[in-house]
Amino acid sequence: MTTRHLPSRPRRFATGLAALALASVTAALLPGSAVAAAADSELAGPDGYSAQIRRTEYGIPHVLAHDFRGLGYGYGYAFAQDNLCQLADQVVTLRGERSRWFGPDAKTPGGGANLASDTYHQGLARSGTVRKLLDQAAPIGPTDDLRRIVEGYAAGYNRYLHDTGVNDLPDASCRGQKWVGAITTEDIWNLIYEVNGNAGIGDAQDAIATAAPPGTTPGTTPGATPASPASPASPASPASPAPAAARTVKLPPDGTENGRDLGSNAWALGRDATADGHGMLLANPHLPWVGDHRFYQVQLTIPGVLDVSGAALYGTPVVEIGHTRDLAFTATTSYADHASVYRLTLAPGDPTSYLVDGKAEKMGRQEVPVTVRGADGSLSTVTRTIHTSRYGPVLADQEAGLPWTDTYAYAFRDANADNLRSMSEWLAMDRSQSLAELKRAQDTYQGVPWSYTFASDVSGGTYFTDSSAVPHLTDAQLARCTVVPAHDLPAILDGSTTSCDWGTDPDAVVPGLFGPAAHPKLSRTDYVANSNNNPHLTNTAAPLAGYPGIYGTDPRLGSRAQLGLRMIADRRDGTDGLGTPGFTLSTLQATMFGDRDQDAELGRDDAVAMCRANPVLTAGDGSRVDVSRACDVLAAWNTRTDGTGHGAVLWQAFDFGLHGRNPVWRVPFDPAQPLTTPRGLNGDSPDVRRALADAVRKLGTDGTRLDATMGDVQRWAGIPLHGCDGGVGCFNVVTAGPNSGTTGGSLPQTGTGARGSSFIMATELTPQGPRTRTVLTYGESVNPASPHYTDQTELFSRKQWVTERFTEAEIKASPALRTTRLRG
């Protein structure tokens, strides 16, 4: 173990740093005395920031401080050491300055146009929406402790930037760049607000910024007189909530989950499902491996106050998936709608007025100036117009079926429009030691924006709830008010009548949402589990019912969700080949990395029988294809998607070809057999035969062997990856290409992205303390030059895990221990 001495550096810039009393940084390990005593004697700094960053194997930081300001300071500094360029780029986006630095026509990391992104974010900033929320007391505004963490986080980031200097940053992607500078607490609050909108209006940024009445240039309204400033986050009516920041209405390609690039598996296992009667938890979020949806692994400790270990989305100041001593919690993306699209019936002859209960209402307008950089480097100003309604911002997207015509326009209302509560809730969960305390935290803040919550505690109890922000729309309203059925978008409702507006529950902390009494929830001592399906089959022995339909009530499960529940049943029965019944920590890990494929388990044998009987099949272009070799490969395949799975690539290509085809299964879905139906691939179907012929042709054209494993075709920085697309029934979801990760984890480039299993955590809660294994599949840093860019990818590739160091004794025993002491 080593210590570090960080010398002071000359001041390179002043912005944002004037308030920091910067001193030289020394490095030393805590002495062997009790942590609390060490915190008092060595971390004292009542007028400044002070913290210790202790890094163990794989660069995982354990931040120790004596107060919340110091905790944020150490966390912000540690994160900046690993990922400053990524957060700096996010800040440019949130400030609406991408066009200024990179030009208006360049693309954002999310794929939208810089000018549209800047228009949206500049409009949001000018509206003061986030500032108005900050001005309120908790639970609507942040708690005092969270405010202190955010203050420290920004200061810690700035301290690292000051100490290192822009020209000496380790990541070449932003080294020496003029757009890199100090950040403010406002930047972090804006980032939190943006995260909260990820599953709602977070998909509509371009559509809002470019919406224009028919016959006009996008983002403009000729001849109109500017009204008082509105914003994309502030509807014209003060009584209406304000939608959050956004990206694009266009949907991700097939294979993403729940219509979004957000997904997960989550299991909370109780005393009746585990071998030793302990509570256990599996966290397996599926998010992009490139950009701002990555996780950062960290432990945050204030002795006697807070001790939580887990992971947080980049730039967020608390742990969102993790565990304390006696409680573990995780999340999956909720199936529910978190927004509504309202169709506006326009007033005759005026495309910027709409009718509500027969009366015309004028749309609000906001003129948004954006600074743009020309090809010659010169700066100029472009002014765009954002239109708003009583429901929220007006949007238009022809491809999504939401055009602005002379008859109709569309507006977006987001359930997280006034949500700055999320991090206060997660901070309260980070301090919880029981399911009862977690439930109180959720009922108090009601801030989880778009995910389910799964938790287990040391007593062996488990808990599931969808406590996310969901529009208060009754089943009767949805039946009466839905004007356009939409599978991949929120319900499109009639905006011409107030009878279709959101209601309110008396126990909801903000108007327009369902309160805790209406939330789907389940407590069990065996298990609760979910793979982005609706709440109905959270536990097959206790189907949920009676909750509002907007949360989802379809009894059918996706194939990944089916597989997850089958895996739990197989382990409880001891029929999975992993030994005696019941979960242990090792069998939970083995189950996670079993790389099973539901569709293959239910359909591979039928596919082989079909191609044995028909060795030459007709492809979609009419050509005849010899599939006899493919048939041999599938027959020999073990239906796994790891390094032993020779044939997995062929099956995935074949399975993709079956999507949207009916009927491909001989046995249809049966509610009495929800985990094994539909099944029996229909080999007589022309679509099934065509799909196999097309798959064989495609692999031949691509130069891919028919017996290739998934690791042969999907890699991260050259490292083979097991797992496959969730759309074909894989539990361990990984989607990548042969060149993924070759350009770093910060800004995506064509063909270099990946998504799927990201922060994986298996935890057993014992009376002696938690036992945890983790793997952060892409490592702690986005920087390809960092030793922590692919070190954990290598582990993941070999199906290995990190043994977590949680206690003081475990941390101090790390042979890789490096400690940095900060005083500000």
Per the structure block, which two tokens stand in for 424? Answer: 């206060």
Contact between 725 and 252 under an 8 Å Cβ cutoff? The reply is: no
Rounded-to-integer distance, Cα 118 and Cα 205, Å: 10
Tracing tokens 């000051």 back to the chain, one arrives at 162
Contact between 799 and 645 under an 8 Å Cβ cutoff? The reply is: no
Per the structure block, which two tokens stand in for 279? Answer: 């509570």
Tracing tokens 């139906």 back to the chain, one arrives at 677
Rounded-to-integer distance, Cα 170 and Cα 787, Å: 11
Q: State the catalytic residue, choosing from 173, 240, 264, 451.
A: 264
Q: What are phi and psi of 391, to 5 degrees?
A: -90, -25
Q: What are phi and psi of 247, to 5 degrees?
A: -130, -80
Rounded-to-integer distance, Cα 149 and Cα 618, Å: 63
Contacts of 479 (CB under 8 A, 6+ apart): none
3-class secondary structure per residue, 5-43: CECCCCCCCCCCCCCCCCCCECCCCCCCCCHHHHHHHHC
Rounded-to-integer distance, Cα 531 and Cα 502, Å: 28
Contacts of 289 (CB under 8 A, 6+ apart): 716, 736, 740, 741, 745, 753, 754, 755, 756, 758, 777, 778
Per DSSP, the residues of 175-244 read TT-TT-----HHHHHHHHHHHHTTTTGGG-HHHHHT---TTS-TT--TTPPP-S--BTTB-SSTTS----
Strand 527-530 to strand 263-269: parallel, antiparallel, or no bridges (unpaired)? antiparallel
Contact between 118 and 98 under an 8 Å Cβ cutoff? The reply is: yes
Rounded-to-integer distance, Cα 725 and Cα 255, Å: 6
Contacts of 134 (CB under 8 A, 6+ apart): 141, 142, 189, 420
E-only strand ranges, 270-374: 279-288, 295-302, 306-313, 321-323, 327-333, 339-347, 350-356, 359-362, 364-373
Sign of CA dihedral 165, 171, 175, 180: negative
Rounded-to-integer distance, Cα 563 and Cα 601, Å: 9
Q: Is 264 one of the annotated active-site residues of the chain? A: yes
| Cα 273 to chain centroid, rounded | 28
Rounded-to-integer distance, Cα 206 and Cα 409, Å: 16
Rounded-to-integer distance, Cα 575 and Cα 555, Å: 26
Contact between 126 and 132 under an 8 Å Cβ cutoff? The reply is: no
Active site residues per annotation? 264
